Amino acid sequence: MTDYACALIIQDGKLLLGRRALYRKTYADKWDVIGGKVEPGENLEEALIRELGEEIGISPLNSSAFDVISDTGRDPKSPPKYHYFLVTRWQGTPSICNHEHSELQWFPFEEAAALPDLAIQEYAALFIRLSLVETHIL
């Protein structure tokens, strides 16, 4: 099983998603949250900080665990485990910093949940749950 640290980046009632680049082996050209694989020797928070810096050039000033999803669609026998963290404050301006995403966009939660091209199906329910707690976390 592989662990991933993933950010639910929230600002003004919207969620930041990245469209995965066309060449990506998994979930190419799909809307996804920002994050990536936990490297050996890293904990989840360290991986989250590194991934946000590498992918979109921000440093989170806060993060809190929100949910964990196992991606059985990708590997039913040993599914990757995605650890989602709420990020509501950061340093820097989100922008594409490497080749992993072709686009960044802010979406209202309900609109994000309704996107037909989400990386994983479970995002729809995750984003709706996020909309229900968003007013309590800001």
pLDDT in tens, 81-91: 999 999 999 99
| The model's pTM | 0.93
pLDDT in tens, 10-55: 999 999 999 999 998 889 999 999 999 999 999 999 999 999 999 9
Residue 25's pLDDT is 87
The fold adopted by the segment(s) 3-137 is: Nucleoside Triphosphate Pyrophosphohydrolase (3.90.79)
Q: Are 37 and 3 in contact (CB under 8 A)?
A: yes
Q: Are 79 and 1 in contact (CB under 8 A)?
A: yes
Round the average pLDDT of the chain to a whole number and report it. 93
The DSSP H or E segment spanning 110 is helix 109-113
Q: DSSP string of 15-43?
A: EEEEEEPTT-SSSTT-EE-EEEEPPTT--
Residue 126's pLDDT is 95
> Hey, what's the torsion of the CAs at 73, 78, 80, 81, to 10 degrees?
110
